Amino acid sequence: MTTIPDTFQSMTLLKPAVQETLARLGFTTPTDIQRKAIPYLLATSHAHMHGQAQTGTGKTLAFGLPLVQRIDTSSRKTQALVVAPTRELALQIYEALKPFTDALSISMTAVYGGVSLEDQFRKLSSGQQIVIGTPGRINDHLKRKTLVLDHLKTLVLDEADIMLDMGFREEVEIILNKSNRDKEIWLFSATVKSGISDLMRTHMPDTHTIRVSQKGIGTTTVKQFYCIAPIKERVDALARFIESAPDFYGFIFCQTKLLTSEIAERLSQKGFPVGALHGDLSQPQRNFIVKKFKNRDITIVVATDVAARGIDIADLTHVINFSLPEDLESYVHRIGRTGRAGKEGIAISFIPKSEIRTIRILEKRFSVTIQPILVPSLKDITMQRLNALYKKFNIISEMSADHQYTANTELETLVKENLNNHVSTYSPEILRQLFVSYLFEASFKELLKQSDIAQHAQNNHHSDELDSSICEVSLGVGSEDGLSQEELLQHIIDKGFNPEDLKKVRVIRRKSFVIVGIDHCARLIELLKFDELKGRRLNPRKEMAREEFDGGDRRGGDRFQRSEGGRSSRGGYSRGGEGRSGGGYARRDSSRRGPRSN
C-alpha cells in the first residue's frame, strides 16, 4: 500500500530546486489534492488524470509541480499547455508557477484576451516551453499559427466544468484536436457533469481519477458579509470598518498591483499601520513586510492574491475584499485566511449592487450565508472606542497601587512628582474636565474629520520631473464631470490596456492624466481616441512638457484624500510607490478659464 506523504519535504521525487522554492515560499504541508496528485503524476511518465476537487483546494500546485518537472529544458518547443476559463485565473496560475519555472530555467508565458496579439506573438516566437491561457485567445493563436502544439506533452484543463458552463466547449475541442495526439491530459473539475463525462470518454481513455472530499466553507468559523459600496467610496468605508474593530488584524485583497499600492498609501496617510504586498516588491522587501506583519508592527496588509500566497498566520481577525475576485477559488483562498485554530473570523466583500447575483452564486455553490452589512457610522466607531477605554479603566482599577504608580526610572519619578504637585492645586471638577478633554483630543477628535471629508479635503502636491522613459497622456474629462480615479482606471483596463503598463492615473477637476511607459503611449491614445466618459469625449493628447500646478482643487473626485497636520496627501494611482508618500506629476490646471460648456 502506497503511503501518502504528509509534507512536501517527504515527496522525494520533487527536484531539489523545487523543494528549495517551496521552502522559500513557506509551503510545508500539502493539501489533500496535492498529497494525492503530485506523487502519482511524478511516478507516472504518461497518464490521463481527472482531479475532482472543488475550488480552493490547491489544484494549481497539484498539477503545476509535476508539470514543471515534465519539461525537457534542452528543447524550446511548447511542451505543456494549461487552459483556464478566465484571464484572471490564467494570470494566477502563471504567477503561482513562475518561481518554480525560474528555479528550473523554464520559459513560460500567458496568453489571454484584452491585450495585444502581437506582443504575445513576440513572446511565443521566442520559444515558450509552457503556455498558460484562456480558450478564446489560445484559439486565436492556433488560427494564426503563432502557437504550434505539435510537440505538446501535457495538456491541463483547469476548472473544466466552469469552462464548459461558460460556453467554451467548441474552443476546448479545437485545442484537443489541434495538439499532439500522444499528449497526456490532466483535467480538473469540481463536478462531473455530462459535458465532462463526454469529454473524458472521447479524449481520455483509461483515466485515473483522484477525488478529495468536498469541504464547504460554511462549516468554518468565518462570518461572511457583503457591503454595497460604490468604488469611489470604498477607501472611506474600509477605514470605518477598521476603526470599528479595535483589534483589527488582517488582509485587504485587491485585484491589481496598482490598486494595492494606492490603498495602502491612503490608509497609511490616515494613520493606520499598513503594508503592501504585490509583485513589484523584491524578495527582501516582501520578507520585511511579512516579518512586520507577523510581529504585529503592522496590523493591516493590502495584497494581491498571488503576493499573499505562502503567508500562514493563524490568528487573523479579518479579511476584506476591496472587490470580489473573478474566480471562486480565490474567494475561498481569501476568506480561509481568517477563522483558523478555532477562532472566529470576519470576511467582508465590497460590491456594487450589480454583483448581488454573484453573492447568491457563492452562497449556493458553497452552502453558506453571506449577510449584508452597513458601513459603520461615526457613532458606532465612537462607542467601540469608549468600550475599549472602559475596559482599560477596569483593568487599571483592579491593579495594585504599586503596579499603577511604580516609577521605573529617575526621570519618570521626577515627572510624576512634579505633576502630582501641580495637579493638587486644581479642584476635582476641573480635573475631570481636563481629563475628558484630553481623552477627546487623544482618541476621538480625528473622527470629526471623517464626517466632513468631502468639504474639507484639500491636497498639496509637489511637482515631479517627467522621466524621458515615460509618457503622460491628458484626457478631457475630470472630477467635475463625476469621474473618479477608480472609474478611469477600470475603463482603461476594460479597453484592453494591460494594467501592468500603467504608471499613474490621476484625475483633477477638468482633466485627467495617465502616465505610461513611452513604448505604450501610442497604443493608449489609439484605444481611447474615440471614447467618451461621463458624456465627454476623452480626446487623448500626449503631453510633452511639465507644467506647475498653481491652485485649484486637486482631489480628483476622490473624497478619501485629505491633508492632515500639514502633511501633503497626494492623489493618483502610482505603481510601486514604496518608500515615499504618493507622488503626482504636477501640472497647471487652467483654473482661470471660464465655466465649461456642455
> Cα torsion at 400, 401, 404, 410 (round to 10°)?
-140
Asked if residue 102 lies in contact with residue 134, where contact means CB atoms within 8 angstroms, the answer is: no
Kindly report whether the global pTM for this prediction surpasses the value 0.75: no
The conformation of residue 189, written as its DSSP 8-state character, comes to E
Distance CA(216)–CA(534), nearest Å, equals 43
At 86 the pLDDT is: 79
Distance CA(409)–CA(581), nearest Å, equals 38
Structural Rg of the chain based on CA atoms = 28
Mean pLDDT per 10-residue section of the chain, whose length is 598 residues: 77 94 90 92 92 79 96 96 87 92 96 86 94 95 95 95 85 95 92 85 93 63 92 91 91 90 91 89 82 93 79 85 82 82 87 88 85 85 70 55 48 57 61 59 53 36 48 89 84 81 82 88 90 90 51 31 33 37 33 38
Q: b/e for 184-208, b at 16 or more Cβ within 10 A?
A: bbbbbbbeeeebbeebbeebbeeee
Distance CA(227)–CA(249), nearest Å, equals 19
pLDDT digits (tens, 9 = 90+) for 509-562: 888 989 888 888 999 999 998 898 988 999 999 875 333 323 333 333 332 233
Distance CA(219)–CA(268), nearest Å, equals 35
Q: What strands lie across the sheet with 80-83, from one edge to the other?
A: 108-111, 130-133, 80-83, 154-157, 184-189, 49-52, 208-211
Residue 145 CA from chain centroid, whole number = 34
Helices (H), 356-506: 356-366, 378-398, 401-405, 410-423, 428-439, 445-450, 453-456, 485-494
The conformation of residue 498, written as its DSSP 8-state character, comes to -
Beta 502-507 vs 573-574: how paired, if at all?
antiparallel
Residue type for position 173: E
Strand partners, 514: 473, 505
Domains of the chain: 16-211 (3.40.50.300), 222-376 (3.40.50.300), 382-451 (no CATH), 470-574 (3.30.70.330)
Nearest alpha-carbon partner for 263 in 285, 244, 241, 291: 241
At 123 the pLDDT is: 93
pLDDT digits (tens, 9 = 90+) for 198-215: 999 999 999 999 988 655
Q: What is the mean pLDDT of the chain?
A: 78
Q: b/e for 468-504, b at 16 or more Cβ within 10 A?
A: eebbbbebbbbbbbebbbbbbbbbbbeeebebebbbb
Nine cell digits for residue 508: 483633477
Asked if residue 551 lies in contact with residue 471, where contact means CB atoms within 8 angstroms, the answer is: no
At 455 the pLDDT is: 34
Asked if residue 176 lies in contact with residue 184, where contact means CB atoms within 8 angstroms, the answer is: no
Nearest alpha-carbon partner for 270 in 104, 457, 407: 457
Residue 236 CA from chain centroid, whole number = 18
Asked if residue 128 lies in contact with residue 107, where contact means CB atoms within 8 angstroms, the answer is: yes
Distance CA(576)–CA(93), nearest Å, equals 22
Nearest alpha-carbon partner for 37 in 27, 47, 28: 47
Residue 24 CA from chain centroid, whole number = 21
User: Measured in Å, how far apart are the chain's first and last C-alpha atoms?
Assistant: 78
Residue 33 CA from chain centroid, whole number = 25
State which H helix or E strand residue 68 sits in.
helix 59-70
